[in-house]
Amino acid sequence: MSPEMIAMLAIMTTNPLVDYQNSATYTKDIKPLFAKHCTMCHNKNVMPWADWTDYDKIFIARFKIRSRIWTQRNMPPGGGSITDKERDAIKEWIDKGAKK
């Protein structure tokens, strides 16, 4: 393997942005974002009709979620502490099939 090839592989495996775009999964990458920014409100006690603590429910609602966090940007209410990069990561995950 050439040194260039090794350098490229090193970049691909250590760059978190590349990781999000190519192989983000709910369990590894997205669940922590929901835990940090959504599930204090969106859980089965507070909002049982919009419980984002569960992969299957998130999967079913993913286009609604995409619209609120990325297109309309009105979730979390008032903006919360979510960053643009985190919004992009959730959007990309949904666009790439919302893998578990």
Please give the residue ranges that form the binding site for ligand HEC (CB under 6 A). Answer: 37-38, 40-42, 49-50, 52, 61, 64-65, 68-69, 75-77, 80, 82
Question: Could you tell me if 50 and 61 are in contact, meaning their C-beta atoms sit under 8 angstroms apart?
Answer: yes
Longest pairwise C-alpha distance within the chain: 55
Instruction: Identify the residue whose tokens are 């590894």.
Output: 28
Q: Give me Rg for the CA atoms of the chain.
A: 16
Least distance from C-beta 85 to ligand HEC, angstroms? 13
Residue among 16 and 48 whose Cβ is closer to ligand HEC: 48
Residue among 14 and 94 whose Cβ is closer to ligand HEC: 94
Angle at 69 between CA 72 and CA 66, to 5 degrees: 95
Least distance from C-beta 96 to ligand HEC, angstroms? 17
Residue among 19 and 51 whose Cβ is closer to ligand HEC: 51
Least distance from C-beta 95 to ligand HEC, angstroms? 15
CA atoms within 13 A on the CB side of 14: 6
Least distance from C-beta 28 to ligand HEC, angstroms? 18
C-alpha span between 5 and 98 (Å, rounded): 30
